[in-house]
Amino acid sequence: MNEKDFVKLCKKVVADYANRHLDKTDGKQIAEGDVFIVWMCKTLQNNKALVSTTLFDGMYYELTYNGDKKELYLDAYKKWENLCIEFK
């Protein structure tokens, strides 16, 4: 899968996933334009991306495309903390 097709697929899958899991009473939905790629790489026939959205929900997503099996795997994570640990 080329980079353009992978980015498009990631944005669609994450937007659909987020919309299915949003609280229905909020009346909020996001579009593919509200999804952005944080990091992405391609190794041989496989692709991987870290993805987030414009929602203030602390979620981020890891998408992996297995080129051998033509399968896309989605992992959804919630950010709990961001700590700074100093070493002296």
Enumerate long-range contacts of 49-52, CB under 8 Å, 24 or more apart. 49/6, 49/7, 49/10, 51/10, 51/11, 51/14
CA dist., res. 63 & res. 69, Å (int): 15
End-to-end CA distance of the chain: 46
pLDDT for 8: 98
Block means of pLDDT (10 residues each) for the chain, length 88 residues? Answer: 96 98 89 98 95 94 97 94 92
pLDDT for 73: 98
pLDDT for 80: 86
